Amino acid sequence: MTGAEPLEHYLDARRADVETALRAWLPGPPQAPAVVATAMRYSIEAGGKRLRPILCLAAAESVGATKGLSAADAREVAMSAACAIEMIHTYSLVHDDLPAMDDDILRRGKPTLHVVAGEGMAILAGDGLLTEAFGLLTRTTGTAGASPDRRLRAIAVVATAAGACGMVGGQALDLDAMPRPGVPAGAPLDADGLRRMHALKTGALITASAVVGAIMAGGDAATEHAIRQAGEHFGLAFQIVDDILDVEGTTAGLGKTAGKDAAAGKPTYPAIFGIEESRRLARRCITDAEAALEGAGLHHSRLAGIGRWIVERVN
């Protein structure tokens, strides 16, 4: 279902849809105290690619088409989940940027939340985004609606991907490999350790984005399995490209401090494999993802197009 719409238009339109929905769903005064609601909004409105919610919507469209759902209806039924995942991604950035973690002062071209609101409020705003995300996942959106069973399953998939066996676990491995004041560092990561860390820290939530889109749009177990496989390849490709951009990009283009991982002595794909081999690895991921999607008849879908964009992006 790639249709005639160019990918750039599609990405812009979906980004706008997601940002409109996020603005409507974020809590605000008087129910939520203004001080924390403002902090949550600051981080969400700092922008970003919105890769994860777009992947979720594209997966819903691709699967929905096989169930007779229009593209718009399929996206609508997955919109609450797409926004919830972006809220979880944003909370993870807020906490990662804290002085006790990566200690970064610039994100998406703006001062990080702890710089503008203080560390304590940044911790709370992250906690708030994570909690509200699960509240949002309980809601159904769109005329198609998702059954309670599908919503529960989506919550379970997201919790597993974001929790100690996923994103939080990956961040812990990353943190543990760094020397910190007063805490002895664990062993530095080798290539296998690097792959596991990224699979948890970044890959799990990217994979879950696609899987949850498929669940909300009514995908069966075989489709969900194919999309999970493709999502894992997407996640790895995304991380390799991110590492390449960290070496090659500029701070202005990336909206975050370039070259920071290398300067911190963090292992990266280019540092281990070199730039050219890293590029080849990323392209290979997309070929593998397309093979997985082909098994479910989804290799010409919008989802496959989003996969190609992941390796072609420049920020």
Q: Are 289 and 244 in contact (CB under 8 A)?
A: no
Question: Of the two residues 159 and 271, which places its CB atom closer to its own copies in the complex?
Answer: 159
> Closest separation between CB of residue 153 and its own copies, Å?
8
Cα distance between residue 235 and residue 201, in whole Å: 10
Question: Of the two residues 205 and 310, which places its CB atom closer to its own copies in the complex?
Answer: 205
Question: Of the two residues 2 and 160, which places its CB atom closer to its own copies in the complex?
Answer: 160
> Closest separation between CB of residue 297 and its own copies, Å?
29
Question: Of the two residues 3 and 120, which places its CB atom closer to its own copies in the complex?
Answer: 120
Question: Of the two residues 173 and 271, which places its CB atom closer to its own copies in the complex?
Answer: 173
> Closest separation between CB of residue 288 and its own copies, Å?
24
Cα distance between residue 212 and residue 57, in whole Å: 9
Give the count of alpha carbons within 13 A of 296, CB side only: 28
Question: Of the two residues 62 and 171, which places its CB atom closer to its own copies in the complex?
Answer: 171
> Closest separation between CB of residue 99 and its own copies, Å?
8
- Residue 9, by phi and psi: left (phi above 0), alpha (psi -120 to 50) or beta? alpha
Provide the token pair at 116: 């503008």
Question: Of the two residues 134 and 273, which places its CB atom closer to its own copies in the complex?
Answer: 134
User: What single DSSP character describes residue 106?
Assistant: E
How many residues comprise the chain? 315
Bridge partner list, 54: none
Residue 154: strand, helix, or coil: helix
> Closest separation between CB of residue 5 and its own copies, Å?
35
Provide the token pair at 230: 């493709």
> Closest separation between CB of residue 81 and its own copies, Å?
13
Bridge partner list, 110: 107
> Closest separation between CB of residue 193 and its own copies, Å?
11
Q: How many CB atoms lie within 10 A of CB 190?
A: 10
Question: Of the two residues 71 and 162, which places its CB atom closer to its own copies in the complex?
Answer: 162
Cα distance between residue 227 and residue 63, in whole Å: 9
- With a CB cutoff of 8 Å and minimum separation 6, the contacts of 312 are none
Cα distance between residue 220 and residue 225, in whole Å: 9
> Closest separation between CB of residue 27 and its own copies, Å?
4
List of residues contacting its own copies (CB under 8 A): 27, 31-33, 35-37, 39-40, 91, 95, 98, 100-101, 117-121, 123-124, 126-128, 130-132, 134-135, 137-139, 147-149, 151-153, 155-156, 159-160, 162-165, 168-173, 175-176, 180, 182-183, 186, 200
Segment holding 111, helix H or strand E = strand 110-111
